[in-house]
Structure 1
Amino acid sequence: MPITIPSELPAYKVLRDENIFVMNNERANTQDIRPLKIAVLNLMPKKIQAENQILRYLSNTPLQVEITLIQTKSYTSQNTSAEHLNKFYNYFDEVCNKKFDGLIITGAPVEQMEFEEVTYWNELKEIMEWSRSNVFSTLHICWGAQAGLYYHYGIPKYQLEEKRFGVFLHKINNERAELTRGLSDSFYAPHSRHTTVLKEDVMKVKELEILSESDEAGVFMIGTKDNRKIFITGHLEYDRDTLKDEYDRDKEKGLAINIPRNYFTDDNPELKPDMRWRGSAHIVFANWLNYCVYQNTPFNIEDIKK
């Protein structure tokens, strides 16, 4: 079964052109099955780009997935048209009485600010608290992972001496974990961040397990023992050119930025980036949907609770 999204959403045409099976709402309504209800709290500035990236990997599954896009009310994106936001997005107070099998909280370019200084921090705290009883499994990405670890467990983030920027080699700590099932012993994943969380802080929390880490990039995948909360500190969802676009943007602004590590062929920005993480991204997102969500979420979605 495919992902189910409105046919007017830009991602619908993008994914169809990539020969990815997507289904519009009208056709989905004729099928007598219960789709997985997945909400995406999109905190990225370029929301359409983030939609395309995440929905691409949620489409790689035999399960039917129904998507609800959420934006914050306390901060309005300046990089996405109001028409798009009004047509495809919900505010939290419009969905807070609903339950979801899964929730994805994306990254956001606010990591160098203290959490409490972020405009929508109080709203995000409300959403993360709500997710404990209204969502079966929540996947937090990059800054979203740092925010979740801080809110739920008090784990702080630390400023890095230089931006952790590039594609880094990771290892699996627990090959029997459901989220890492099918991954190679070592695999690549992109990172783009100025802050980090420390392994020793995570290990102090008995409820958490470090599922994957990198000698260069630090802890990568963290999960609770029951898979109700997953934290990924990098960006497996990134496209081939996402790091290149960030590098070009910062260069044009005159910012100090290093060439992304292990990304361009021969470290030459004029050459095509080497995409080493696509297979691993498909596996991780499919594992989250299947093992962390579908295999364990109640058939009656109203039975979801803490």
Structure 2
Amino acid sequence: MEHVKLLLIIITILSNAHTLKASELLVHEYYKEKCPLAEDIVRHNVEVAVFKDPRLAASLLRLHFHDCFVMGCDASVLLDSVEGMTSEKQAGPNLNSLRGFEVIDKIKYLLEEECPLTVSCADILTMAARDAVESRGGPRWDVLLGRKDSLESSFSGANLFIPAPNSSLESLINNFKQQGLNIEDLVVLSGSHTIGRARCVSFKQRIYETKQEYYNGYDRYKRYTNFRRILRSICPVTGRDNKFAPLDFQTPKRFDNHYFINILEGKGLLGSDNVLISQDFDGTIRDQVWGYATNEKIFFASFAKSMIKMGNINVLTGDEGEIRRNCRFVNP
């Protein structure tokens, strides 16, 4: 049964006609009349949560990304396992990794108190990701709203469609293309790695295997060598796989353009960060990275545009899906 669902997901992703029609039904200020305080409630609670734990900014942004890349932006990632359905939370890329569910639960509870069965969990994820970015100094953008929540999750889809931290550039490009996103979207959305952390198990390969793709083949001033020494002190050859390191060592809690400076120097934490430069043989991506590294305003504007685009992937609208009462479970 799971294989059948996975085949249907692939067919849906490859067919953009449905996606475009659904996304056209999303609008700004969707809840202006239905639930006027919706965006304020989301924003306030995200700000409070991130103030208490700055790491949650990256966690909420990542939740939205991992949701959209599996069946579309439909809050399927929030569903818990029930008989006959394994949660996406149990998939390899998500297990013991995704965070922020309690923040979404609290927001949903407050919205149900204010406007019962009105604001979808999918829209909450979208708004929370935007507000999380802004809370760390990043851009703010107007989100399109009106999504419905899915009635199922896809454990297999989560294992298949979420990019691995050691992906090649070709693999990343193909992965994003399946979602209707292009190379420009891939590069700018990778900039979300300006905040957050990763476990040693995600990047050990890139610090113990001396490959050109990890430092762009250029290390005259030993910058990569020194950086690798720091990473090795955090993550020894054996053990401490669950130890964390910041994705951006320079400004780990601030959403800025420093990620792009890092990868130009071969100092992206993940292998999938550095391949944007090392495997860009025609220099197209390097030009884009240079543009973001030297002009934060351009990065912010491009990031907002691509986030809106990603938020439109295979959305459910109209009579599709439902508005869940509890984001963890389909309505009875």
Is TM-score (shorter-chain normalized) higher than 0.5? no
Higher RCO, 1 vs 2 (CA within 8 Å, ≥6 residues apart): 2
Larger fraction in helix = 2
TM value normalised by structure 2: 0.28
Larger fraction in strand = 1
